[in-house]
A and B are shown apart, each in its own frame.
Chain A
Amino acid sequence: MTELVSPARSRLRPADGVRVGFVGLRTRPLRTLLTALGIAIGIASMISVVGISASSRADLLAEIDSLGTGLLRAAPGQSMFGDQSTLPETAKRTAGRIGPVTAAAGLTYTTATVRRSPYVDAGITGGIAVMAVDSNLLDTVRGSLASGRFLNQTSPDVPVVVLGADAAARLGITSLDRHPRVWITGGDGHGEWFAVIGIAAKTPLAPELDSAAMIGYGVADELYDTTASPSTLFVRADPDRVPDVRAVLARTVNPQSPNEVDISRPSDALEARAKTDAALRNLLLALGAVALLVGGVGITNVMVISVLERRAEIGVRRALGASRRHILTQFLAEAGLLSVLGGVAGCTLGAVVTAVYANSRGWVVDVPIAALAGGAGVALAVGLLAGVSPAIRAARLDPAEAIRPV
């Protein structure tokens, strides 16, 4: 009598497939750990690259945010004949009349040099520029003071000086407690003691102030014949109206020859820095990808060995009813679990590295969730890809052959 009923298909529940893959890993813990480590290193390096560059970027953006994007810088450019031109003395006043402009402040380089005392050789200037500045300059560029106070309306004519962060360090002046003085000599050799009344913090939007000794216009004129024509003019405006201001600024400050005025936006440099980091980041990401690739090859290698070692198990599972597809699933699950293990370890490690590094630099810690998810996903993909070929080998084994002792 013939039974016409077609027998059922062999079936493996998905959860059981994962469980069977897990048994293979559990049986050889050291090998599992070492193989997962390969993936973990690749993922960790990628996550930390993304995390560190995101943290650095977040920090830069926060800085840009606090400094504002409303600052414009006007400097004399070159005349048609290649000579250095100057801004007219009226530049500051006329710039202040532009509607959206909230503040304008200038600085003028002098020929003077600054030293700790007259006994220091005149040639040792430390690269510090002595400049006459407006009393609202620091506010205009959103700079701040590390200690002391800035020049004010009453002090342009008295011999007091505010040092930029780098200038103070070069002169060896770290505090104002002992009322330090510096010796400022004009181009004609005439010197004068100046009391240091303030030390500025770093000014990212006007880096030239960092290595400057800032004095008032009045005293600069009196002692060193400094003109009132600004070497650089800073103009702060409503950030939304900056393009409008920019369009008219050159013509306003120098109506005679507007094309001799160079206008720039200092915050653009910071934004550019945030962008240029991307190139380096991509390079490092590529290195991380190479590490990941090596990890993937490690998985393939280990899986190939595993298939050879476990011929008998494969044969037994086939005898117990596993179809070719189930064997394929088992080894893919094993490779996938291995790489997810590595991926999770790598994500954790990468996040920790990012946090430690960002903290050491005083940055905001920013590990993008997308990077973590991406890292885990990429790890899984690498593992599955690495497992395909060994899994196919395993599935193709002839059960009768596999079961026989070699």
Chain B
Amino acid sequence: MSAVLELTSVVKEYPGAPPIRALAGVDLRVERGEFVAIVGPSGSGKTTLMNVIGALQRPTTGTVKIDGVATSSLSDSRLSAVRGRRIGFVFQQFHLIEGMSAMENVADGLLYAAVSRRQRLRRAAEMLAAVGLADRATHRPGKLSGGERQRVAIARALIADPAIVLADEPTGNLDSANGAAIMSLLQQLNADGRTIVLITHDRDLAQALRQVTMRDGCIVADSTVVAT
């Protein structure tokens, strides 16, 4: 198996006096097809780790390789392309764009990859069908339930066929039934070969997954559990 994500001695400091060290030398390797849960209490550096993994922030020192690409020296445009094509984001707040239909929201996952609109919409229809929302294609996000919105967001995350799906508390705004449905959808995707990195403070969600536990900016435990 090849590493799809490779962090080596990653340090992230935020300016201040003294500087705030959010990540204090993190080494992490995620293989293709893994389902990893990054867990830890708030303030442990989970969010910063997600930002670094998602190429939303660059580390202060250390190297990050996403799908084989080292992000440290990339221009804004190339780094943005890494986010757009190799990482699929799923957020707690769904972050769908109002004023566009579910299908257009999904299609925007390919907007910055110079794919023609016709192709984007065709792919979006396929992705919506894959998450079971074919009949909701023309609905605005405001007309969808929380669970449906998160499915749309997942469809958007998948449309560019990313190397990693990065899910930040994807069930945080959902009731337990919808949360369970989203988790099983993610598990389904993982079973189909997707690499998934889940950031959560909820250890129950992380059961039966490889758990990377963060505390004070360091990884304090990394338990690989073989799924049954």
Contacts and interface: CB of A to CB of B under 8 A. Distances in A.
A266 interface: no
A33 interface: no
B139 interface: no
Contacts of B189: none
Contacts of A321: 80-81, 83-85, 111-113, 160
Given A27-B99, A322-B80, 8 more contacts: A7-B69, A7-B74, A12-B111, A15-B117, A316-B91, A320-B84, A320-B156, A325-B77
Contacts of B51: 400
B84 A26 contact: no
Interface in B153-205: 156, 160
Interface stretch (A16-24, A58-66, A154-162, A375-383): A16-24
A20 B91 CA distance: 21
20 contacts: A1-B2, A2-B68, A3-B69, A7-B69, A10-B77, A12-B114, A26-B99, A313-B97, A315-B95, A316-B89, A316-B95, A316-B97, A320-B84, A321-B85, A321-B113, A321-B160, A323-B77, A398-B57, A403-B95, A405-B93
B70 to A, nearest CB: 8
A403 B77 contact: no
A337 to B, nearest CB: 14
A11 interface: yes
Contact of A320 (B98, B100, B111, B116): B111
Contacts of A13: 114, 116
Given A312-B95, A320-B84, A400 B57 contact: yes
B56 A7 contact: no
Interface residues of A, number: 39
B76 interface: yes
B108 interface: yes
A372 B68 CA distance: 55
A115 interface: no
Interface residues of B, number: 40
A12 B83 CA distance: 14
Interface-centre pick from A315, A319, A324, A403 (highest chain B CB count, 10 A) = A319
A24 B77 CA distance: 23
Interface string B44-86: 0001000100101100000000001110001111101111111
A360 interface: no
B33 interface: no
Nearest to B48: A400
B109 interface: yes
Contact of A403 (B2, B56, B74, B85): B56
Given A12-B114, A319-B56, A321-B85, A3 B68 contact: yes
Which 5 pairs show the lowest CB-CB distances between chains A and B?
A321-B84, A27-B99, A321-B112, A3-B68, A11-B114
A16 B68 contact: no
A9 interface: yes
Interface of B: 2, 47, 51, 54, 56-57, 68-70, 74-78, 80-87, 89, 91, 93, 95, 97-100, 108-109, 111-114, 116-117, 156, 160
B95 A11 contact: no
Nearest to A20: B111
Nearest to B93: A405
B142 to A, nearest CB: 11
Contact of A323 (B91, B112, B117): B112
A92 interface: no
A279 interface: no
Nearest to B89: A319
Contacts of A2: 68, 70
A320 B109 CA distance: 6
A7 B78 contact: yes
Contact of A312 (B56, B93, B109, B116): B93
Interface in A313-352: 313, 315-326
A295 interface: no
Q: Which of A16, A24, A312 has the most CB of B within 10 A?
A: A16
A298 interface: no
A256 to B, nearest CB: 89
